[in-house]
Chain A
């Protein structure tokens, strides 16, 4: 047997790379952590591969082979709440969920509003099972008062800024943030919910909140926040990214802004295309409490339409780990948020691909090249020369979400017990198989 030229060959899978417009059976050759080439899965190519030692082969027959998925919206909780998640455990969950890159939000303790904290996160991520990109804070301590040292943040490696968890309520500060961020070519990620309209709210305002006697977060609280940011972006320029779009009104506002050529992009999370607010009254599951809240069927339909027509560019999890003791309480006392790194791919297949809303190419686009372009990340493609970040998806796999299978330190998922289709079979990071399911 000859000495292998390649470190890893992924053979026989259906390779989809929306960035390259590639979609057929092919073999991927990897050397030194980099993709060397993709060959169509011909008899000749097969013959060559079959002479390789089995250790260097990954059989992807019957599976999808796609660029390593990027989750542009996660909370890794480190520094500060290492009991809920660490960079290492969050990245293990990412790898198991098929994600090779994650972008972590700055609402840690201390907040990621200074270059030392960016460096700390990046140094912790060096040995992790996924690439970590840092989103820095818009304002010092996310207080919405003064800009953080955005130049420093970018210099240390931040790829975007956000006060995620809350809205930059002061329009003057948001204006200045857009102006200032323009210098560095980074987008501002907006958690668009007006703090006054949503004050005290714990679920969507609808007949369901009326019925349950809970304080609502009205859809208009998101719509107004999105519209204001769009108008500021139109006036100032710069780049605006709307996080976790959840309402029909926000989808429509973004659609119109895009039609006018305003530089706005958007993401949607599974909870806003899989869950509806009538689920809350069934068991008062605090894992269903999230901001923005799970909405009505009309909003779910609009988010799906936005994903289909391209208004919504990305799919992200908003993975938000919370300790069990903080969630196992009265509904209104529980902190908002749910984990999502290990369920997002299955929910995307089950609710978007299998139902015929998105082709695999479109779904993958929203989890690879689109977030990569928005954040100027190097990944998101299988192009020769790119880092070998690759996700192999077993689309035939039917599985049940189980608490014990979560690698995240926190288990706050409303999907436990759900039956889903599709799961990552292998996750390859820089040519290294960081996750494999047997």
Chain B
């Protein structure tokens, strides 16, 4: 069993057996990061470039640690100004860096489609670390891993994704991954943050939080950003919290043995109360730890695709 593609651009169209392969591979790495010496020689001699055109804390650190723990040579390039403003195109920037003999590129960018664009101008394996509101596949994979870790399976579970569906790449990748694995998926948020024809994803749609979470196993809560109010999509943070905030009181509607997730960064007191975030059903920190294992697994599996071609 191998991955079909030499890149990880998204989870749309990735079949269940490939997702399972990544999740299964991550189990080994999950064990490694619990060891006193958290380093294996797997990617020795491989150079990985982390290209972050958008601010990121946990994803960037997670990839960097994953690369170091696999013994890859990792460098990170961070910029918040787009290359267009700088006077050099993205294509020129990445081709110049690749000329220094890079093997793999992890990219985060505010424009949808940039990871695909890089596959067209580079020879490196490309890993999408988030492109616009399009996909964030490693985040979804770590979410899937975390759910499977707890329940032993994904099929038949009821997962509700709550919040800013319109602007969330995490939601999109989760939908593709969860559906491929046989979970039942619902999205819930204010109508202004549910994108046009969202039902065509094949998910259930809710604007009533209590109906959405009634009988759910997993609630995955998305960050709500202040800009949405300025853009006229929400009247106030206060009203959002009243309508969609996850409070301890609302958890009674969930199935027994429910799970609370959040990809971070959290706005405590807005989309989630501290009580819920830190409660015993919260796996929010476990998600972060699992992210390490998932990223190590993805780097490992794709580096194999690289060698195979040479």
User: Which one, B112, B113, B132, B200, contacts A207 given CB within 8 A?
Assistant: B200
For B91, list chain A residues within 8 Å (CB).
328-329
The answer to the question of A378 belonging to the interface, with a C-beta cut-off of 8 Å to chain B, is no
Interface residue ranges of A198-219 to B (CB < 8 Å):
205-207, 209-214, 216, 218
- From A212, A283, A328, B112 is in contact (CB under 8 Å) with A212
Given A330-B90, A330-B113, A331-B111, also A211-B133 (CB < 8 A): no
Q: A284-B116, A332-B112 are in contact. Are A210 and B89 (CB under 8 A)?
A: no
With CB as the reference atom, state the residue of chain B lying closest to A280.
Answer: B113
Is B197 among interface residues, defined by CB-CB distance under 8 A? yes
Contacts of B167 in A (CB 8 A): 213
B114 in contact with A210 (CB, 8 Å): no
0/1 interface trace, chain A 241-274, chain B, CB 8 Å (1 if under): 0000000000000000000000000000000000
> Is B196's CB under 8 angstroms from A214's CB?
no
Q: Are A209 and B111 in contact (CB under 8 A)?
A: no
Contact with A along B177-200 (1 / 0, CB 8 A): 000000000000000000111101
The answer for the CA separation of A23 and B82 in the assembled complex, in Å, is: 57
Which B residues are CB-close (under 8 A) to A212? Answer: 112-113, 132, 134
B169 located at the interface, meaning its Cβ lies under 8 Å from any Cβ of chain A in the complex: yes
Residues of A within 8 A of B214 (CB): none
Which residues does chain A contribute within 8 Å of B166, judged by CB atoms? 210
With beta carbons under 8 angstroms apart, the residue of A205, A207, A330 that contacts B114 is: A330
What separation, in Å, do the CA atoms of A125 and B84 have in the docked complex? 34
Say whether A333 faces chain B, with CB atoms less than 8 Å apart. Answer: yes
Complexed CA–CA distance, A207 and B12 (Å): 14
Shortest distance from the beta carbon of B173 to any chain A beta carbon, whole Å: 10
CB contact under 8 A between A332 and B132, given known A205-B196, A213-B112: yes
Chain A residues with Cβ below 8 Å from B111 are: 330-333
Q: Would A210 and B134 be within 8 Å (CB), given that A328-B91, A331-B113 are in contact?
A: no
From 207 to 234 in chain A, residues with beta carbon under 8 angstroms from any chain B beta carbon are: 207, 209-214, 216, 218
- Interface size bucket, B side? 20 to 34
Tell me, yes or no, whether A55 is within 8 Å of chain B by CB.
Answer: no
Of B82, B110, B117, B166, most A-chain CB atoms within 10 Å: B117
- Please give me the residue from chain B that is nearest to A208 by CB atom: B197
B108 within 8 Å of A (CB atoms): no
Known A-B contacts A284-B116, A330-B117, A333-B84; the reply to A207 vs B196 at CB < 8 A is yes
Asked whether, in the complex, the Cβ of B109 is within 8 Å of the Cβ of A330, the reply is yes
Contact status A210-B195, CB under 8 Å = yes
| Least CB separation from A281: chain B residue | B113
On chain A, the residues within 8 Å of B109 by CB distance are 330
Q: Are B116 and A213 in contact (CB under 8 A)?
A: no
Which residues of B116-144 have CB atoms within 8 Å of chain A's CB atoms? 116-117, 120, 131-135
**Is the CB of B172 closer than 8 A to any CB of chain A?**
yes
Residue of A nearest to B84 (CB): A333
**Residue A325 interfacial (CB < 8 Å):** yes
Residues of A with C-beta under 8 A to B135: 213
Task: Evaluate contact between B90 and A329: CB separation under 8 angstroms.
Answer: yes
Please tell me the number of chain A residues within 8 Å of chain B, measured between CB atoms. 20
Chain A positions within 8 Å of B117 at CB level: 284, 330-331
- Structural contact, A213 and B132, CB atoms closer than 8 A: yes
Query: Which residues on A sit within 8 Å (CB–CB) of B116?
Result: 283-284
Contact flag A210-B200 (CB < 8 Å), given A328-B89, A330-B117, A333-B84: yes
- Chain A residues in 8 Å Cβ range of B134: 212-214
Assembly CA distance A290 to B174 (angstroms):
31
CB distance from A243 to the nearest CB of B (A): 25
Among A209, A213, A284, A328, max chain B CB count under 10 A is at: A213
> A331 to chain B: which residues have CB within 8 Å?
111-113, 117
* Closest Cβ neighbor of A329 among chain B residues: B89
Q: Which of A270-297 contact B (CB under 8 A)?
A: 283-284
- In the complex the two chains form, what is the Cα distance from A214 to B167 in whole Å? 9
Interface centre among B112, B117, B198 (most CB of A within 10 A): B112
Measured in the bound complex, the distance between the Cα atoms of B195 and A218 in whole Å is: 12
State whether B172 touches A333 (Cβ < 8 A).
Answer: no
Residue in chain B with minimal CB distance to A332: B111
Whether B90 and A210, one on each chain, are in contact in the complex, defined by CB atoms closer than 8 angstroms, is no
The residue of chain A having its C-beta at the shortest distance from the C-beta of B172 within the complex is A213
Let me know if A209 and B172 touch, CB within 8 A.
Answer: no
Q: Which of B155-177 contact A (CB under 8 A)?
A: 166-167, 169, 172
CA distance A165 to B132 in the complex (A): 26
Whether A209 contacts B90 by the Cβ 8 Å rule is no
Return B163 CB to nearest CB of chain A, in Å: 15
Q: Which B residues lie within 8 Å of A213 (CB)? A: 112, 131-135, 167, 169, 172
With the chains together, A214 CA to B117 CA distance in Å?
Answer: 15
CB distance from A336 to the nearest CB of B (A): 15
Quick one: which of A207, A284, A333 contacts B82, CB cutoff 8 A? A333
Given the complex of chains A and B, what is the CA–CA distance between A212 and B12 in angstroms? 10
Complex CA gap A207/B120 in Å reads 25
The interface residues of chain B lying within 8 Å CB-to-CB of A328 are: 89, 91
**Residues of chain B lying within 8 A (CB to CB) of residue A206:** 196-197
* Residues of chain B within 8 A of A209, CB atoms compared: 195-196
Q: Which one of B113, B131, B196 contacts A216 once the chains associate, using CB atoms below 8 Å?
A: B196
Among all A-B residue pairs, the 10 with the closest Cβ atoms: A213-B133, A284-B113, A330-B111, A213-B134, A207-B197, A210-B195, A207-B200, A332-B111, A331-B113, A213-B112
**Using a CB–CB distance below 8 Å, which chain B residues touch chain A?**
12, 82, 84, 89-91, 109-114, 116-117, 120, 131-135, 166-167, 169, 172, 195-198, 200-201
Known: A213-B169, A330-B82. 4 other contacts (CB 8 A): A209-B195, A214-B112, A283-B116, A330-B111
Q: List 16 A-B contacts (CB under 8 A).
A: A205-B196, A209-B195, A209-B196, A210-B166, A210-B201, A211-B201, A212-B134, A213-B131, A213-B132, A214-B134, A218-B196, A328-B91, A329-B91, A330-B84, A330-B109, A330-B111
Residues in chain A within 8 A of chain B (CB atoms): 205-207, 209-214, 216, 218, 283-284, 325, 328-333
